Amino acid sequence: MMDGQKPGGDGNGIRGEEGMPKFTLPQIVTIAATLLAAVIGVGGYFLLNEWYSPDLRYEEGAYYRSEGEAITSLKLHNYGAKDAKDINITAQFLKPLVKDASTNDDAYPFTTTAGGKGQESVAGSIKRVAPDQTLWIYFSVENTSGLLVPPPGGFVHTITYEGGTGKKGQPVFFTRLVTASLYLVMITAIIFVGYVYPVRRVNKLRDKAIAEAAEEINQTGKATLKEVQEQVNDFRKDCQDKTRELEEKSDTILQKAEMAAEKALELKEEADQAAKRRDEARRETEEAIKKRDDARKELEDLKKEIIEWQQSKEAVQREPPERKQPGRKRKEENV
């Protein structure tokens, strides 16, 4: 037992003077957050219902006799902050209706969809009732000499609209507030009981689980660390072996590269010599072609001279002897 800790306490659940465990800061924050969420939820619910949704209420009126008919009324009032749309109303009377239902505002007529005049029941609809608007609907039934007693529970059977149902009477905000307060008190009690009484047991179980987990983590960590160190050593050894192998391969590749470079230089020199010999052969070929062309030209000139000589010789032979004599010796010398 630690100094300054009372019997029955543990590391986190220090007990007060009355034996109740004190709350830690995370627990206080959790409780406060839960209560705040509950208050916001309940307040938001009533805020939405009171201010951001329609709340259609109705009241049934008494009968007024007028000759052959008795007239009663139905008062509709929207206490919400949004239009009550597509309102459907069904009503049941003890006597048949003598007229179709009507309203006090022609802009919001009552449209009969079933029953009506000549029948004891009627169903109809109204397009909408604006916020804080009051609409009266009048029904006329047969007037009798007896007492007109409304049906048990009233003549209205159902009133529905988009997103809700019409309720009888005016809204009682105090009742809703009391209901919300009771819900809030119940939530607070549940949270309080749920945290105060199990906290000691929870703290013990938590400390035990933390200790066991820490011991298991410690043992597992040691084994894991040893295994990791062995793997690191093996990996380092493999890296060293592969590094040596790569260095040897690199030296071999470097030697081969140097030999290949020398061979490339030799091939380049041979290629240069071959190119030089090719150029010399090309020049010799061009000179031979030139000599051939010159010889061909000289041969053509010689052929022309021979042809001209033959033509001259033939011309001399065709001349008469007396004309050939003086120049014969000169021509023969020329020939």
In a domain, 285, yes or no: yes
My answer on whether 103 and 147 are in the same domain is yes
pLDDT confidence of residue 41 = 72
Single-letter amino acid, residue 300: E
Give the range of the structural domain holding residue 140, as residue numbers without chain letter: 56-170
In a domain, 325, yes or no: yes
Among 10-14, 86-90, 119-123, 299-303, the range scoring the smallest mean pLDDT is: 10-14
My answer on whether 165 and 187 are in the same domain is no
My answer on whether 154 and 236 are in the same domain is no
pLDDT digits (tens, 9 = 90+) for 294-330: 888 989 888 888 998 888 888 887 766 555 555 555 5
My answer on whether 235 and 292 are in the same domain is yes
Q: For tokens 């008469």, what's the residue?
A: 320
My answer on whether 330 and 185 are in the same domain is no
Question: Which among 1, 21, 2 has a CA at the least distance from the CA of 13?
Answer: 21
- Using CA atoms, how far residue 223 sits from 83, 139, 218, 231, 281, in Å, is 72, 90, 9, 12, 84
Query: pLDDT confidence of 220, banded at 50, 70, 90?
Result: confident
Return the H-helix or E-strand segment holding 60. strand 56-60
Residue 87 has pLDDT above 80, yes or no: yes
In a domain, 4, yes or no: no
Residue 13 has pLDDT above 60, yes or no: no
Instruction: Out of 125, 155, 170, pick the residue that ends a domain.
Output: 170
188 conformational bin, left if phi > 0, alpha if psi -120 to 50, beta if neither: alpha
In a domain, 181, yes or no: yes
Instruction: Out of 130, 151, 170, pick the residue that ends a domain.
Output: 170
Helices (H) and strands (E) in the chain, counts: 4, 11
Tell me how far apart the alpha carbons of residues 229 and 259 are, in angstroms, rounded to a whole number. 45
139 within 8 A of 74, measured Cβ to Cβ: yes
- Using CA atoms, how far residue 106 sits from 2, 57, 103, 201, in Å, is 85, 20, 7, 71
In a domain, 208, yes or no: no
In a domain, 33, yes or no: yes
pLDDT confidence of residue 133 = 92
pLDDT digits (tens, 9 = 90+) for 129-144: 999 999 999 999 988 7
In a domain, 202, yes or no: no
- The total of structural domains in the chain comes to 3
pLDDT confidence of residue 6 = 43
My answer on whether 261 and 327 are in the same domain is yes
Question: Which among 104, 29, 101 has a CA at the least distance from the CA of 69?
Answer: 101
My answer on whether 180 and 131 are in the same domain is no
My answer on whether 232 and 129 are in the same domain is no
Tell me how far apart the alpha carbons of residues 189 and 183 are, in angstroms, rounded to a whole number. 10
My answer on whether 83 and 160 are in the same domain is yes
Question: Which among 89, 81, 31, 84 has a CA at the least distance from the CA of 60?
Answer: 89
List own/partner pairs for 15-18 with CB under 8 A and 24 or more apart: 15/200
For position 128, which CATH number holds?
2.60.40.1170
pLDDT confidence of residue 78 = 92
In a domain, 129, yes or no: yes
First-to-last C-alpha distance (Å) of the chain: 157
My answer on whether 146 and 133 are in the same domain is yes
Tokens representing 158?
A: 């159902």
Mean pLDDT taken over the chain: 80
168 within 8 A of 74, measured Cβ to Cβ: no
My answer on whether 70 and 94 are in the same domain is yes
The angle subtended at Cα 280 by Cα 277 and Cα 281, nearest 5°, is 85
My answer on whether 156 and 236 are in the same domain is no
β-pairing, 121-129 vs 64-66, is unpaired
pLDDT digits (tens, 9 = 90+) for 190-216: 666 655 556 666 677 778 888 888 888
User: Which string of b and e fits 89-121 if b means at least 16 CB within 10 Å?
Assistant: bbbbbeeebbebbebeeeebbbeeeebbeeebe
